[in-house]
Structure 1
């Protein structure tokens, strides 16, 4: 996950940790349901040019580490994943529509997302000390001017 990716007009590294849960955290992501969810998450991410770095399907939630290109928003990807997976799960396993389960709602309403990137402390130090570094370069003559 530490490498930058490149497209025609952008160099990027957009990595995210995403957690999503079935409604009421019912423990249904096991066996064949788990296999279907794992396969389809990878397939749908690939379809959107996203790269699944890590995927862990637990009985009551999913952890996903994914690299998402800048042209795809998090909400767009999550809408696609939750929507397509719910439709396929209900078609493949109609018993999930019956009580005590959900009707037509498989996933909980929201999700958790966190960016994964450079160390926050390192960025803070860089921002705080960048002005000092620029001044050092100016005094050492390592700067470019329009008129020399």
Structure 2
């Protein structure tokens, strides 16, 4: 099997995640400019958490973020910080958004999946053959 590996002082790892969150009430307020700004904010925050943002994209009412993380990263803390900071900054910088979504920007929940670099079938075969 071939992985795109990262290393730490005593570890070798490949941790990749797909994160999706939705605007409150599924309000269609994410313009291309706002989505870009969310990407910028995500990149700024990522440095504090040891996260590497790979891609940010989405639709009018949701955003997808692909990122890699270290084994020591507190993923929940990163996501909560990401949602909180983007909510505050976007509502502050874009008055039209604050008019639509006054109290909060994102729905409370989110989707998160580890992406892996090989299919589960390949991994199962590999483990079985060991």
Q: TM-score range by the shorter chain?
A: 0.7 to 0.9
Distance 2:121 2:10 in 1: 29
TM-score by length of structure 1 reads 0.77
In the other structure, the counterpart of 1:111 is: 110
**Distance in structure 2 (CA, Å) of the matches to 1:17 and 1:95:** 29
Which residue is equivalent to 1:20?
A: 21
Tell me by how many angstroms 1:83 deviates: 0.6
Give the equivalent residue in structure 2 for 1:78.
79
Q: Provide the alpha-carbon RMSD of the alignment.
A: 1.7
Mapped partners of 2:54, 2:98: distance in 1: 31
Contact 2:92 2:98 in 1 (8 A): no
Describe the SS at the equivalent of 2:109.
coil
Which runs of 5 or more residues in structure 1 are unaligned? 131-148
TM alignment of 1:94-133, pairs within 5 A: 94-98=95-99, 101-117=100-116, 118-130=118-130
CA contact (8 A) 2:34 2:90 kept: yes
Specify the alignment match of 1:145 in structure 2. Answer: none
Q: Structure 2: any 5+ residue segments left out of the alignment?
A: none
2: CA distance, partners of 1:34 / 1:55: 8
- Runs of 4+ residues over 6 Å off in structure 1: none
Structure 1 residue aligned with 2:43: 42
Instruction: Decide whether the 8 Å contact of 2:35 with 2:57 is kept in 1.
Output: no
Provide the TM-score with structure 2 as the length reference. 0.86
The CA deviation at 1:31 is: 4.3
Higher normalized contact order (CA 8 Å, seq sep 6+, divided by chain length): 2
Q: Distance in 1 between matches of 2:126 and 2:34?
A: 46
